[in-house]
Homo-oligomer: A and B are copies of this chain.
Amino acid sequence: MLDEIIAKITSEYGTLSNEIIEEWKSDILMLELEKGTQLVREGSYTNKLFYIYKGSAKAYHLKDGKAIADWFSFEHEFICAITGYFLGRPSEHYIELTEDSILLEFNRKHINILSNTYHDFERFTRNAITKIMLQLQKRVVYLQFSTAKERYDFLLQEYPKIELHISLGDIASYIGITQETLSRIRAQK
């Protein structure tokens, strides 16, 4: 199964030779965990990157005691504690599974070694980061100046089935509105 997942990943982010793939595989963990499992805790030093094969996860942080969702990850997407992973600082986020999931776990150190050793792997990494960057760019645009309804419509366009996987409260915080407001928007559809 791992080979199959890796094939899917490389088809999206860039081909890798068998040699590289074998070396990469030597440090990949494959996990099957249940809904609610915390992959990363705020304040922890984390150097892990995850890839969701089945299921879904969320990254969130607390503001005034309330959870605010920062990032969702569904099947075939990556997720990490962004500031922790890229800056080597204590994580500002929690990461938690929102459904029973099968996922891969990678290590920053090993990823960096591979990137430094193999040009192809470096390109692969760049492509993955570029995708994250473009997703963030889109979010900034709609968070900057749009109504609650516009934000929600935009999110549904990006993730038409998000409601099957993520609770109303988490969705609301992700688009920067309260859950009451989101509930009312839904009601008048």
Q: How far is the CA of A87 from the CA of B131 in the complex (A)?
A: 10
- CB <8 Å contact, A82 and B134: yes
| Interface members, chain A 139-189 (any B CB < 8 Å) | 139-141, 143-145, 173-174, 176
Q: How many copies does the complex hold?
A: 2
Q: How far is the CA of A83 from the CA of B82 in the complex (A)?
A: 22
> Shortest beta-carbon distance, A65 to chain B, in Å?
13
Q: How far is the CA of A133 from the CA of B70 in the complex (A)?
A: 14
Q: How many residues of A contact B (CB 8 A)?
A: 31
Given A68-B145, A126-B122, A145-B68, the answer on whether A137 and B176 have CB atoms closer than 8 Å is: no
A residues lining the B interface (CB < 8 Å): 61, 63, 68, 70, 82-83, 86-87, 115-116, 119, 122-123, 125-126, 129-130, 132-134, 136-137, 139-141, 143-145, 173-174, 176
Q: Would you list 26 pairs from A and B whose C-beta atoms are within 8 A, ordered by A residue?
A: A61-B141, A68-B145, A70-B140, A70-B141, A70-B144, A82-B134, A82-B137, A86-B134, A115-B123, A115-B126, A116-B123, A119-B119, A119-B122, A125-B126, A126-B126, A126-B129, A129-B133, A133-B133, A133-B136, A136-B137, A140-B140, A140-B143, A143-B143, A143-B144, A144-B174, A144-B176
